[in-house]
Every structure is written in C-alpha cells, then in structure tokens.
Amino acid sequence: MAHCWSRSAVFVAVGAGLTVQHLDTGGAGSVIGGIVLALGVAVLIYMFSGWMSNVISESMSGLYSAQLSRSFKQGMSWFIFSEVMFFGAFFGALFYARMISVPWLGGADNNAMTHEVLWPAFEAIWPLTTTPGGTTTEAMPWTGLPLQNTVILLLSSITLHMAHVSLEKNKRTALIVWLEITIVLAAFFLYYQAVEYAHAYQDMGLTSNRVSTATPSSC
C-alpha cells in the first residue's frame, strides 16, 4: 500500500506541474497533465478510503492497541513537521524576496552598483508590481477571496476542535455533525482556493512567465 501512495503522489505532482506549465498555452501538455493529475487524485482517494476502512474495521474488531496508537501519533507528528517545513519554505522565500533581494536590486546596503549597472530604472517597492525588467503585474489585495478563505480556514479549525471535544465526551452525534460541517468548510475552502488561483493566473497576470522576463539581459 505504501508503494501505491508513493506512486499516486508522484502522479499528482507531475500532473499538477504539467497542467500549470501549459495552462496558458493549452495543447497536448495541458491535456496530458490533466489526465495524470486526475489519475493521481483518483488513486489517492481510493487508497485513502481503503486505509480508513481498514482503520475503522480494526477499531471495531478490538484490534486497536498501544502500538497502533503510537504509530498514528508518529505519523501525525511527521505530517505536522512536513507542513511546518513546507510553509517555512514559502515564508522564507517571501522574506528573502521582500527583505533582501528586492532591496538589493534597488541599491540597498552596498549594492549601489548592482542597481546602477543592472536595473538603473528599478524602484524597490512592495508589493512588487513592476519587475526589474519592466514587466508590470497587479497586486492581489488581502480583502475579498484571501480574507474569505482565511475566515473559512479558521472556522474549520474551530469545528474540528469541537468534533474532537465531542469525541472525548463520547458524543457520537455531535462528533458526526461537527465533522460534517468541517468537511463542508473544507470543500468551500478548496473551491475558493481554485477560484483565487485561477483569477490570479488568468486575470491578474501572476504567472511564472512574469518572473522569467525579469532576468537581466547580461546574464
């Protein structure tokens, strides 16, 4: 089963990459990417459903043990660790771009010649709506969809906590209700995330092509 999980994750990663790379141009690459992505997601759903079925069956059969409890806790610990590292990389990249690379390109610290030689007309401001190469973009405001998704995410954390409290108090009906609400909120969150990314990509021009045009001509 572990091999299937690994392969499905590879399918999802490759499919998502191909889809994004060819989203603006279409063609065979986009179609193949969509197929591979759908295949990976389908396998993930199938494997996750099977795993949950096995866990429930083991629990109902009285096979749940201290060893299983430790394995679940270790698995969740590694998952949380991976999430911390994942978002740490994103926020680290944001910090580097905002606090280091953009000011340096604008001539901050001892980089006056970097600014003068490479991008003399570049103005280091944030949000970066004009790249050093002169390409203009549009900054997405924190209101609207980003704020809406943040509220949904916070609400889902509360409902999941309430489900956990209900589980500890052995209130099965309340547990099911809170979990169902959490799942509905998760579905809305994923939907609006897709809408937000599509809006940023198609309407605001926030694509990887914008980044590539910022490469110095002397490089």
Does residue 215 have a pLDDT over 60? no
The mean pLDDT value for 4-20 works out to 61
Instruction: List CB contacts of 185: < 8 A, sequence separation 6 or more.
Output: 152, 155, 156, 159
Q: What percent of the chain has pLDDT over 70?
A: 79
Instruction: List CB contacts of 209: < 8 A, sequence separation 6 or more.
Output: 24
Instruction: List CB contacts of 159: < 8 A, sequence separation 6 or more.
Output: 178, 181, 182, 185
Q: Which of 113, 119, 114, 117 is nearest to 134 (CA)?
A: 119
Q: Answer yes or no: are the C-beta atoms of 122 and 132 closer than 8 Å.
A: yes
Q: What percent of the chain has pLDDT over 90?
A: 29
Q: Which of the four pLDDT bands, split at 50, 70 and 90, describes residue 218?
A: very low
Does residue 16 have a pLDDT over 70? no
Q: Answer yes or no: are the C-beta atoms of 10 and 29 closer than 8 Å.
A: no
Tally of residues, the chain: 219
Q: What pLDDT was estimated at residue 175?
A: 93
Reduced to 3 states, what is the DSSP secondary structure of residue 176?
A: helix
CB neighbours of residue 178 within 10 Å: 21
